[in-house]
Amino acid sequence: MTIVHPTDFSEEAERAERQAASMARSLGAELLLFHVSVETPLYGETAFGIPDVKRVYEGQARWAEERLAARAEALSKDGIPTRWLRRVGIPHEAICDIAREVGAAYIIMGTHGRSGVARFMLGSVADRVIRTAPCPVLTVRPQ
């Protein structure tokens, strides 16, 4: 059994990680820490800075992978079988794709707690995951 925990490394995601770890321990499940990097395509004038932008994306990827590896190691040492994965893509699609690929029993993720106009304008990764996930989704709201 696998529990997928998507993370953007925010406080909300850290709170959800604690819930995911607790549930993984209780169920004897493996925990998959998952991060989606978003790389915006470059067009027109912006394309002249491509080498610089690529370096930024590479730096962000290294940073995310180091964080994922450190969290996975800490959780594994705490007795929770944990692995990590990072992909580039559209967050809600990549989260649902990885859940399908690993046959996830659950997705446990944080929400940012937006409401009203902000939620309408910005959308919500959690909302989109809930609507399209192949398994139950537990969301952990900000306190």
Question: What's the CATH code of the domain at 52?
Answer: 3.40.50.620
Beta bridge partners of 84: 33
Domains contained in the chain, number: 1
What is the rounded distance in angstroms from the CA atom of residue 70 to the CA atom of residue 142? Answer: 24
Handedness of CA 34, 110, 17, 102 (dihedral sign): negative
pLDDT at residue 75 above 80?
A: yes
pLDDT at 55: 82
Strands (E) across the chain are located at 2-6, 30-37, 82-88, 106-110, 137-140
Q: Which domain holds residue 95?
A: 2-140
pLDDT at residue 6 above 50?
A: yes
Contact at 8 Å (CB) between 126 and 133?
Answer: no
Angle between helices 125-132 and 91-102 (to 10 degrees): 40
pLDDT at 121: 44
pTM metric for this prediction: 0.87
Percent of the chain with pLDDT over 90: 73
